[in-house]
Amino acid sequence: MSNEMDTKAPIVIAHRGFSSEYPENTVTSFDASVSAGFSYIELDIHLTADSVIVVMHDETVNRTTNGEGKIRDLYLKEIKSLDAGSWFDSNSPSEKVPTLKEILTKFENRVHIFVEIKSEEEDLLIELRSLLETMGWIPDNNYEKSGEALTVPGISIISFLQDQLLLSAKMLPELAHGLLTIETSEELIEWCVSEGMVGIFPYVGYIDKNFVSSAHNSGLYVGAWGFENPEQLSSNLGLGLDGVTVDWPVEAAVIIGKEISLDE
């Protein structure tokens, strides 16, 4: 497994959509990345006061809308009244905060979604299970680690919150789960293996070849996040990463394509 992983070109995961060019975590941003040919997208979820799952990174609406307040304290109607686009570009048309249901509906059968769990509420996982089940995004059988994790369509669950990730794995055993982390260590690899995680996703600045090889030898998928610019991606392609999460998917694909052609 290690040699196969080390020689594959990494997949490009569109971070909150095509977020270098469009307001993050909006339908426009996701549509732009999918239209450009990227089948892997990453998004973040929170629960509203009336228990609807919405797509937003922060726990408050302050940074990416013209409103204020914690998502958990706001009703969907209030959140839907906000402008989620003008903060990014004053010339952008008004954007609405999407619900996860809207994203699942629009991109049905077209994408693999990395869903980041952003809060520690058990209710969020209960609602997520119900929504995915109702909309047909949950496979018939429990996930087998020997199987293909990144199918399209498909869902993977990721989080920095270890306890929440374990709870999610129990509540959604049909889906692949992965740990987001800043630093790297053998202890984290061991934790992922012992808890049945499929992948580990550290900050790129802490990854080296030894870590990637060790994770691969343990059967883990290794993705990286936190790339600040295309140059940083280019300089880290030799690590043997399986996936790269970036705001600029088109530039990333060009870089990876060039690197691959040079290696052949």
Domains and CATH numbers, the chain: 2-59+100-263 (3.20.20.190)
Residue 156, Cβ neighbours under 10 Å: how many?
24
User: In sequence order, what are the beta bridge partners of 179?
Assistant: 159, 200
Average pLDDT in the 190-199 region? 97
pLDDT of res. 142: 82
Distance (Å) of CA 157 to CA 162, 169, 198: 12, 8, 10
pLDDT of res. 94: 81
Distance (Å) of CA 189 to CA 155, 194, 198, 202, 239: 22, 9, 11, 11, 17
Separation of alpha carbons 216 and 221, rounded Å: 7
Separation of alpha carbons 208 and 180, rounded Å: 16
pLDDT of res. 247: 98
Q: Three-state SS for 202?
A: strand
Mean pLDDT rounded to a whole number for the chain: 93
pLDDT of res. 19: 98
Average pLDDT in the 139-162 region? 86
DSSP code of residue 94: P
Say if strands 199-202 and 221-224 run parallel, antiparallel, or are unpaired. parallel
Distance (Å) of CA 159 to CA 15, 167, 202: 14, 11, 11
pLDDT of 6 over the 90 cut: no
Q: How confident is the model at residue 149 (pLDDT cuts 50, 70, 90)?
A: low
pLDDT of res. 60: 98
Separation of alpha carbons 198 and 188, rounded Å: 13
pLDDT of 111 over the 80 cut: yes
Nearest to 38, CA basis, from 254, 198, 231, 262: 254
pLDDT of res. 93: 67
Q: How confident is the model at residue 1 (pLDDT cuts 50, 70, 90)?
A: very low
User: What does the pLDDT look like over 51-87, one tens digit per residue?
Assistant: 999 999 999 999 999 999 999 999 999 999 999 999 9
pLDDT of res. 211: 98
pLDDT of res. 144: 75
